Amino acid sequence: MANSETILTLMYDFLLYLIPQLSKYPRDQKFLLGDRIETLALDILDDFIVAYYSKQKIERLRDANLKLERLRYLIRLSHDLKLISNKRYGVISNKINEIGGTAGNWIKAISAKTR
């Protein structure tokens, strides 16, 4: 269960970093792209929490993994539109990759147990 506790902490810390960055978006993007990114990130946290407490862990983790990929593209779009700096893009990308790797390890651990 160490992966599950770690991923919840990683996702929470990611949101603590991400949400203030989204508030810096220009008004026309704050309520479009910014809101979409924030909602998606919060949905991912919800998926991890549900996976932690439910019996259908792999399904919820796969849903979260797909949402993480969608989040990667939205963050990349934000960077390409110059809404976030290169430095912040690097930090956010590294955090998303770390969360994705941890989710993948959790999926592998659960799959190994069910074999």
Residue 17 belongs to domain spanning: 2-114
- Mean pLDDT over 100-109 rounds to 93
Counting the structural domains of the chain, the total is 1
pTM: 0.92
Place of tokens 């991400």: 18
Q: Average pLDDT in the 9-27 region?
A: 96
Instruction: Report which DSSP code applies to 55.
Output: S
End-to-end CA distance of the chain: 18
Segment 43-49 shows an average pLDDT of: 97
**Residue 2: band (very low, low, confident or very high) from pLDDT cuts 50, 70, 90:** low
Q: Give me the mean pLDDT over the 65-87 stretch.
A: 97
Under DSSP, the state recorded for 32 is I
